[in-house]
Structure 1
Amino acid sequence: MGFEIRGNRKPGGGRLVRERAAYFELMEQGYSTRDAARIVGINLRTGKRWRNGWHSPPHDQKPVPPIYGTGPASASPETADSPGTSRFLTETERIHIADRLREKATIRRIACELGRSPSTISREVRRNRRPMPNGGFAYQPFHAHRRAERRRARPKTGKIGQNAELRDFIQDHLILRWSPEQICRVLRARFPDRPEMHVTHAAKRISRPVKNMVMISERPAEAADRAVPGHWEGDLIIGKDGRSAIGTLVERSTRYAMLVHLPHGHNAQATRNALAATVETLPRHLWRSLTWDQGSEMAAHRAFTVATDIPVYFCDPASPWQRGSNENTNGLLRQYFPKGTDLAVHTPEDLAAVAAELNSRPRKTLGWETPAARLRELTAPLS
């Protein structure tokens, strides 16, 4: 987004209407609060105040409600660095409820300000209010937040963690470089009558909601049969503690793979910028669509489409087979980039060398041609 910061701005000298509109537009595109504030030239505290509202302003000014749910300028709690999720009320929202109840605001009015259902606010006050010595009740936000947190279900130990035999089997075969799918198939064949030894290889990433997704069911039919080149599948492979990542792209027709260097992290903005730069390395006719899972790294997919004119389609939840070529390639890449390692140490040259090696392997599905040879056939007439 090309935004030019105005000069000679005096504190308190204006309402920064243009900056505020640009800030919300950036938030909608997937930028973080900090990055959006930096781009439009405002203080981070100002950006957070615009996003969260101002519940207890000085000098008898009126409270300003948060912008959740107020249209295109709004940001979900996840993309706006809020501690909660869109499903659960945050501590900030509970403070706003308490402030407005003291001001005698109606439940419906509070719900409108927070972008929540009136029944959500009514249920929150009823469940989490506190009995007082005089026989009445009071809604105290911090007490209410603690009560709500205690009631929330805690994560349980997973199936693999509960079964030492299953865990050892999986670990032993991962050391042998078996793929997750191979392990799952053998487990079912070897222990047909023991469901406690059956697992699924589908990776279920817990992702933040991505706005305005266009689902894979709306992708052109030509992408499904692989007859027309230019339709790509993409994903990230994640490094140690989730701190680093490498982007992976696979063209469905040729199985040609490209690796995306992510030196500045793998948030929405960094991923969008790196993908947009990668697109420029191949002819435009080889970029017709991109299919991704619902990971939050693609929260800025609309900005990517605007910049590149490439539509992005999203897979259904927990459906990795809808990006089968990409999933297979990610499995092969773990031979070069093992799980639990720091992926940030690899340079763009390292990634290019790995991709070149993969693209030089003959593939049965290509009649034992290589992805690199197939891609050369597509680019030769234009070279």
Structure 2
Amino acid sequence: MAIQRRRLTVVDRTIIELRRRDGWSTRLIARELGRSSGTICGEIRRHGDAAGYLAATAEADAAAGHRRSGRQRRLAADGVLFAEIARLLRLGWSPEQISGRRKRLETGMEYSSGLRVSHEAIYTALYALPRGELRRELLSYLRQAKPMRGRKPKGSERRGKLCGMTNIKERPEEIEGRLVPGHWEGDLILGTGGASAVGTLVERTTRLVVLVHMATRKADVAASAFAGALNAIPAPLRQTLTYDQGKEMAGHAGLAAQTGMRIFFADPHSPWQRGSNENTNGLLRQYLPKGSSLAGWDQDDLDLVAASLNDRPRKTLDYATPNEAFNSLLAKLANGGETPNGGGVRYGC
């Protein structure tokens, strides 16, 4: 009979109790249950006492031990692993990024504890903290704490149509698979009352983020600012830009002429058509909260925010960082590969 590796159940423990009363040896009991004799001996040794082995007592002891073991014990608030998690949360990493990066680098020297941990275990440990300053601080680093999930209802379309738009449906199919670098998504995130704004650009294959200071939301200002930022990217890595139909892109023809890029426009109320950019905007709200003014952020400030995002591991990149992925593209061009090289990119104009 094949040896099973599942945990002992209450039925297994009842059989052990009955067979022990009948005088069976541990070897015979193990054979009946399809377990090793060592497993049965260990079970009796751990949960037996002077009165003998009782299935009900053994089951209760095992359940209590399981609750005390594993992640709950490893993630004690005063433990080494929890301290490392708190440090990375303060750097802006998400629980999923922390978990994935530890798994990726578990054989290296970066983590002294040498323990894996799932993102669900991190969330559980954070929410299990007693009320107090530490709990408030660490929970404040979690992203997009929405009161409820789901999409907002679609409203009526209020924006005017841009002239000469090329719809996203005409975008080459090769772009959809994210296998070819140099294709970007763009948007604006707005400050209080829409009076201030920051331009966001994301490269679709590496998720590299570029932030652009916007003096105003006027179309000519937006086109000039985006052109300056994109022209800092090596030419072969700026092929297309996909944007929504915001009025700030009324000067898209001039932007295309200045950068040499083709510009495509997503359908209204279709954020999934620019998924990388929408996700990035959500991450940016950790730094640029909704309802706050963005007027005080200059380009140097925005460069620091972009650098922070680009140094975070991303699940979609197998927990490499956008900087690592983008630098890999640059290195390929430097070595005569198919992808271009520029030696470095400044995250702004």
TM-score band w.r.t. shorter chain: 0.5 to 0.7
Question: Which residue, 144, 152, 158 being the options, matches 1:178?
Answer: 144
> Is 2:226 aligned against 1:260?
no
Q: Go from structure 1 to structure 2 and tell me whether the alpha carbon gap of 1:203 and 1:248 turns closer, same or farther (over 3 Å shift).
A: farther
Aligned partner of 2:23 in structure 1 is none
Residue by residue over 1:21-72, the C-alpha shift from the partner in whole angstroms, topping out at 9 and shown as x without a partner, is xxxxxxxxxxxxxxxxxxxxxxxxxxxxxxxxxxxxxxxxxxxxxxxxxxxx
Aligned partner of 2:174 in structure 1 is 222
Query: RMSD in angstroms over aligned alpha carbons?
Result: 2.3
Question: Which residue, 311, 321, 330 being the options, matches 1:370?
Answer: 321
Question: Which residue, 231, 246, 259 being the options, matches 2:198?
Answer: 246
Say how many residue pairs are matched: 196
Contact 2:198 2:212 in 1 (8 A): yes
Secondary structure of 1:312 counterpart: strand
Q: Go from structure 1 to structure 2 and tell me whether the alpha carbon gap of 1:291 and 1:376 turns closer, same or farther (over 3 Å shift).
A: same
Q: Go from structure 1 to structure 2 and tell me whether the alpha carbon gap of 1:178 and 1:313 turns closer, same or farther (over 3 Å shift).
A: same
Contact 1:184 1:200 in 2 (8 A): no
Q: Go from structure 1 to structure 2 and tell me whether the alpha carbon gap of 1:321 and 1:184 turns closer, same or farther (over 3 Å shift).
A: same
Identical-pair percentage: 47
Q: Go from structure 1 to structure 2 and tell me whether the alpha carbon gap of 1:176 and 1:284 turns closer, same or farther (over 3 Å shift).
A: closer
Q: Go from structure 1 to structure 2 and tell me whether the alpha carbon gap of 1:283 and 1:253 turns closer, same or farther (over 3 Å shift).
A: same
Q: Max radius of gyration: which structure?
A: 2
CA shift for structure 1 position 341: 1.2
Secondary structure of 1:261 counterpart: strand
Distance in 2 separating the partners of 1:204 and 1:374: 40
> Is 2:161 aligned against 1:209?
yes
CA shift for structure 1 position 273: 0.2
Residue by residue over 1:101-142, the C-alpha shift from the partner in whole angstroms, topping out at 9 and shown as x without a partner, is xxxxxxxxxxxxxxxxxxxxxxxxxxxxxxxxxxxxxxxxxx
Distance in 2 separating the partners of 1:283 and 1:178: 33
> Is 2:324 aligned against 1:359?
no
Letter of the 1:337 partner, please give it: L
Contact 1:272 1:304 in 2 (8 A): yes
Q: Go from structure 1 to structure 2 and tell me whether the alpha carbon gap of 1:376 and 1:221 turns closer, same or farther (over 3 Å shift).
A: same
Letter of the 2:241 partner, please give it: L
Letter of the 2:314 partner, please give it: R
Distance in 2 separating the partners of 1:176 and 1:370: 19
Residue by residue over 1:326-370, the C-alpha shift from the partner in whole angstroms, topping out at 9 and shown as x without a partner, is 000000101101111110100111100000000001011101100
Aligned partner of 1:337 in structure 2 is 288
CA shift for structure 1 position 200: 2.4
Letter of the 1:210 partner, please give it: L
Distance in 1 separating the partners of 2:238 and 2:187: 16
Which residues of structure 1 form unaligned runs of 5+?
A: 1-172, 186-198
Q: Which has the higher contact order (CA 8 A, sep 6+)?
A: 2
Question: Which residue, 296, 304, 320 being the options, matches 2:271?
Answer: 320
Distance in 1 separating the partners of 2:330 and 2:157: 36
Contact 1:179 1:331 in 2 (8 A): no
Which residues of structure 2 form unaligned runs of 5+?
A: 1-138, 335-340, 344-349
Residue by residue over 1:231-262, the C-alpha shift from the partner in whole angstroms, topping out at 9 and shown as x without a partner, is 00000000011110000000000011100111
Contact 1:247 1:262 in 2 (8 A): yes
CA shift for structure 1 position 206: 3.8
Letter of the 2:188 partner, please give it: L
Contact 1:249 1:257 in 2 (8 A): yes
Aligned partner of 1:236 in structure 2 is 188
Distance in 1 separating the partners of 2:220 and 2:289: 26
Aligned partner of 2:245 in structure 1 is 294
Q: Go from structure 1 to structure 2 and tell me whether the alpha carbon gap of 1:356 and 1:259 turns closer, same or farther (over 3 Å shift).
A: same
Distance in 2 separating the partners of 1:363 and 1:175: 17
Q: Go from structure 1 to structure 2 and tell me whether the alpha carbon gap of 1:278 and 1:176 turns closer, same or farther (over 3 Å shift).
A: closer
CA shift for structure 1 position 208: 2.7
CA shift for structure 1 position 210: 0.7
Contact 1:260 1:274 in 2 (8 A): yes
TM-score by length of 1: 0.48
Residue by residue over 1:67-106, the C-alpha shift from the partner in whole angstroms, topping out at 9 and shown as x without a partner, is xxxxxxxxxxxxxxxxxxxxxxxxxxxxxxxxxxxxxxxx
Distance in 2 separating the partners of 1:249 and 1:279: 9
> Is 2:220 aligned against 1:269?
yes
Q: Go from structure 1 to structure 2 and tell me whether the alpha carbon gap of 1:253 and 1:211 turns closer, same or farther (over 3 Å shift).
A: same
Secondary structure of 2:312 counterpart: coil
Secondary structure of 1:343 counterpart: coil
- Poorly superposed stretches of 4+, deviation over 4 Å: 173-177, 201-205
Contact 2:154 2:269 in 1 (8 A): yes
